[in-house]
Amino acid sequence: MNDSALFEPFPHYVDARKVFSQKGKFAGHLSNEKFDRLRDLLVEGHFSVYAELHFSIGERGRRMIEGSVDAQLAVACQRCLKPLELTLADDIRLALVQDEEAAAKLDGEIEPWIDAEYRLDPANIVEEQLLLAMPLAAYHDESECQIELSSSNATGALSAEREPSPFAILKELTK
């Protein structure tokens, strides 16, 4: 019934010689420190990555890495350059292969994860999927974008208007 009980926390590395036959299942939040390449694309703000990975041996002996990733992070809006909170969620379906030649033999719907090492870092796999899922350019909704309008006066007035007072929000909540 409840599969989540079978997930273990992420280790620093998994051993590719064993983890597939042992059907390793891992889930949890991954340390932000692991995501150097991703962090370069982000602005300051909340940043969290949750993933589930399941290793198994699939058809024709393929070493499958399947699961999902769910991240909350902030990038710069391409219109106003202010932080824009994004949620990235994606499914992962990869086959571990040793080289490009083996990768070329995979079916179209399975992406290769090319790695000849036996030590696999789950965070690398997750980071790569997040980089692929990142939008090329992200924008706030127009109503939330803090782009400067015709004059600086207008901007000041607008941003004041847009910030609902905490009391107004409280009033909504207690209705």
Residue 79 or 93: the one with the smaller Cβ distance to Zn ion is 79
Residue 68 or 78: the one with the smaller Cβ distance to Zn ion is 78
The H-or-E segment that residue 156 falls in is: helix 152-162
Here the tokens at position 111 are 């992406």
- Measured from the CB of residue 43, what is the shortest distance to Zn ion in angstroms? 12
Residue 11 or 45: the one with the smaller Cβ distance to Zn ion is 45
| Residue tagged 């990975």 (tokens) | 53
| Residue tagged 């997750």 (tokens) | 126
Residue closest to 48 by CA, chosen among 28, 26, 68, 71: 71
Cβ atoms of 86 and 73 within 8 Å: the answer is: yes
Q: Which residue is nearest to Zn ion (CB)?
A: 77
- Measured from the CB of residue 157, what is the shortest distance to Zn ion in angstroms? 18
- Measured from the CB of residue 76, what is the shortest distance to Zn ion in angstroms? 9
- Measured from the CB of residue 41, what is the shortest distance to Zn ion in angstroms? 16
Here the tokens at position 19 are 């983890």
Residue 15 or 85: the one with the smaller Cβ distance to Zn ion is 85
Indicate the burial class of 133 (C-beta count within 10 angstroms; 0-12, 13-18, 19 or more): middle
Cβ atoms of 10 and 123 within 8 Å: the answer is: yes
- Measured from the CB of residue 166, what is the shortest distance to Zn ion in angstroms? 23
Residue 74 or 145: the one with the smaller Cβ distance to Zn ion is 145
Binding-site ranges for Zn ion (CB under 5 A):
77, 79-80, 140, 145
